[in-house]
Structure 1
Amino acid sequence: MASLLLFGFPVQFELGGRLYHWHYLLETLAFIVGIRVYYYLRKGVKDPISDENRLWIMLGAMIGALVGSRLIAILETPDQLPNLTFSILYASKTIAGGLLGGLLGVELIKKFIGVRVASGDLYVIPIIVALFIGRIGCFLMGVAEPTYGTETRFWIGMDLGDGIKRHPVALYEMIYLVLLFLLFQGLKHQKMRNGDRFKLLMVLYFLYRFLVEFLKPYQPLFLELSSIHWSAIFIFLYYSKFLIRTCKAAFAKKPISP
Structure 2
Amino acid sequence: MQIPFEPVVFGYKVNIHLLLEYLAFFIAYRYYVYLRRNTEDVISSSNRLAIILGAAIGAFLGSRIIGILEHPSVVYTHSLFYIVNVKTIMGGLFGGLLGVEIAKKMIGEKSSSGDLFTLPIIIGIFIGRIGCFLSGTKEFTYGKPTTFFTGMNLGDGVLRHPLSLYELLFLMLLFFVLKNYSKNKTESGTIFKWFMISYFGFRFLLEFLKPNEFLILGLSTIQILCITCWIYYYKFINKALFS
Please classify the TM superposition score into its range, dividing by the shorter chain length: over 0.9
- Residue in structure 1 matched with residue 3 of structure 2 by the alignment: 9
- Residue in structure 2 matched with residue 145 of structure 1 by the alignment: 139
* Bigger radius of gyration among the two: 1
Mapped contact 1:70–1:90 kept (Cα < 8 A): yes
2:238 matches 1:247: no
Mapped contact 1:78–1:219 kept (Cα < 8 A): no
Runs of 4 or more above 3 Å deviation: 79-85
- Residue in structure 2 matched with residue 18 of structure 1 by the alignment: 12
2:115 matches 1:121: yes
Mapped contact 1:150–1:215 kept (Cα < 8 A): yes
Which structure 2 residue ranges, 5 or more long, are not aligned?
A: none
- Residue in structure 2 matched with residue 69 of structure 1 by the alignment: 63
- Residue in structure 2 matched with residue 203 of structure 1 by the alignment: 197
2:127 matches 1:133: yes
Aligned length: 243
- Residue in structure 2 matched with residue 31 of structure 1 by the alignment: 25
Structure 1, residues 213-256: CA drift from partner, whole Å, max 9, x if none? 0100113342121110111011000000010011024xxxxxxx
Q: Tell me the amino acid that sits aligned with residue 197 of structure 1.
A: I
CA distance in 2, matches of 1:96, 1:210: 11
Mapped contact 1:78–1:221 kept (Cα < 8 A): no
CA distance in 1, matches of 2:83, 2:172: 31
Identify which of 39, 55, 58 aligns with 2:52: 58
Structure 1, residues 97-149: CA drift from partner, whole Å, max 9, x if none? 11011001111111111111110000111011111000000000000110000
Q: CA deviation at 1:208?
A: 0.8
TM-score (norm 2): 0.96
135-144 or 12-21: which moved more?
12-21
Q: Secondary structure at the match of 1:111?
A: helix
Q: CA deviation at 1:85?
A: 4.0
Which structure 1 residue ranges, 5 or more long, are not aligned?
A: 1-5, 250-258
Q: Secondary structure at the match of 1:78?
A: coil
Identify which of 86, 103, 111 aligns with 1:92: 86
CA distance in 1, matches of 2:161, 2:71: 20
RMSD across aligned positions (CA): 1.2
CA distance in 1, matches of 2:212, 2:198: 21
Identify which of 14, 30, 40 aligns with 2:34: 40
CA distance in 2, matches of 1:46, 1:21: 39
CA distance in 2, matches of 1:69, 1:224: 22
Q: Secondary structure at the match of 2:93?
A: helix
CA distance in 2, matches of 1:168, 1:57: 35
